Amino acid sequence: MRRLIKIYDTTLRDGTQGEGVSFSVEDKVRLATRLDALGIHYIEGGWPGSNPKDLRFFARMQDVSLKHARLAAFSMTRRAGGTAESDANMRALLDAGAPVATIVGKSWDFHVTAALGTTLPENLAMISDTIAFLRPRMQEVLFDAEHFFDGFRANRDYALATLKAAEAAGAHWLVLCDTNGGTLPAALVEMLRAVQQHVRAPLGIHVHNDAECAVANSLAAVAEGVGQVQGTLNGFGERCGNANLVSIIPSLVLKMGLDCIPEPNLRELRDVSRFASELANRKPWSSQPYVGDSAFAHKGGMHVSAVVKHPETYEHIDPESVGNHRRVLVSELAGKSNILWKAREYGIDLDQDTPDWRRILDQLKSLEDQGFQFEGAEASFELLMERALGRHRPYFALEAYRVIVEEQNADQAPVAEATVRVRVKGILEHTAASGNGPVNALDHALRKALEEFYPNLRSMQLLDYKVRILEEAKGTAAKTRVLITSGDGDETWGTVGVADNIIEASWHALVDSVEYKLRRDESSRA
């Protein structure tokens, strides 16, 4: 039977201490539900004694039935000079109604005297009194030994004394915290082994990522026998963040052969990770291990050729095991394998024994040399392939376009207006439209001219627009690359244009975006 590692998620509390991370009460409820479905063992909902939002969350959770996880409420030890029975934090903790209490206490003598402003014996009493008070009133009590590893280096005996005080008072778990996140794995393991010689209670680990070692430290602790790992989704947390559970969980299961969440649930990791990012209003980290868009993205032609034959040549796990998928990128580094892969992906019949793939590759490399970039503009690359194969059928032809920006008085914003003349199915369309900028106006005018012939364009929207100035040393004479992201509710796609001026580059990207939409809709009806 494989050893079980309990996963303790603190995204809803410690994760929200990260810069720019904030969840509403309903956000927290939704995320708690997803964590429960994933198979997380503990969900720390917040600190009910610190703010009204956390109080409302715990009240709201009374109506939510968790199937796998136990809800934990966080708090600190009683105040110096007081009693646990009269402490406001203790009352708020009990009123929260969570079955698990997680109590943070000082284990670094410097923090006791400098931050708390109390004595070392009083701090031990605060730990003992708080745990003993909660032990008969809660189903489970955890002690988080704050700054434990810094405290151990400064005063070994006192740091151990804080653990012994919590253990003697009945703590179910002793959680060793690298609060400042500066401990390296070798040092952490050495201190952990010393701890194991002095306490018998089950140990947990809670580390921060200030030295980029949070995941490594967590896994090293597990290898030494620790039975609980605390962390957050995507590593959200104060300063450099907490240990990233999205990396830790698959490493425990797939690399170390341990149990934590049910293995089939690993396929939900990518979705859960992106769900948390969306709620936090953060763009997903594309290079995030296991679940990021780039985690299994292959660019070099040699790499793609090898992966096609044997995925394990450049993939450490099956991407689908964590809900991800393999991607092949196209650039000047591409080779035959990249082109053939993308042809299959796009449903384009491409014979590897003909020179067609070489013609596509040559065009790709020539355009990349001119400043084009297709990694974020795969719709443009699909159209490039069709054009190179002589299979592209234009849906309209440009006669002329013009864009003007009129500066009015100081009290009014500039007005952009575009006129477009295009020939569609033998008919000349001449339209004009305004917008909040020249590109937006051009987009409106083009689609206005086309929508009578292609009504499905009404569902299409320009979602994002990026400009990159190439050869910056040339100043205003430099080429411009424009990347456009468009969508229609069912799909999003990227297109690219490069030209000597921003309007022309934008026009090319807009035309590709429209033609991709029309081509895709036509293919789906066929």
Give yes or no for a contact between 73 and 51, defined as CB atoms under 8 angstroms apart. no
CATH fold, domain 396-453, is Double Stranded RNA Binding Domain (3.30.160)
Q: What is the pTM of this model?
A: 0.76
Collapsing DSSP to helix, strand or coil, 184 comes out as: coil
SS (H, E, C) 466-502: EEEECCHHHHHHCCEEEEEEEECCCCEEEEEEEECCH
CATH 3.20.20.70 fits 6-261, yes or no: yes
Domain extents in the chain: 6-261, 347-393+461-526, 396-453
Cα–Cα distance measured from residue 207 to residue 246, given in angstroms and rounded to the nearest whole number:
15
Cα–Cα distance measured from residue 186 to residue 193, given in angstroms and rounded to the nearest whole number:
11
6-261 and 396-453, same CATH topology: no
Cα–Cα distance measured from residue 432 to residue 434, given in angstroms and rounded to the nearest whole number:
7
Backbone angles phi and psi of 135, in degrees to 5: -55, -50
Note the pLDDT tens digit of each residue in 418-458: 999 999 999 999 999 988 888 888 989 998 999 989 999 99
Cα–Cα distance measured from residue 88 to residue 98, given in angstroms and rounded to the nearest whole number:
16
Note the pLDDT tens digit of each residue in 307-362: 778 888 888 999 999 999 887 766 666 677 777 777 777 777 877 777 878 877 77
CATH fold, domain 347-393+461-526, is Double Stranded RNA Binding Domain (3.30.160)
Note the pLDDT tens digit of each residue in 218-261: 999 999 999 999 999 999 999 999 999 999 999 999 999 999 99
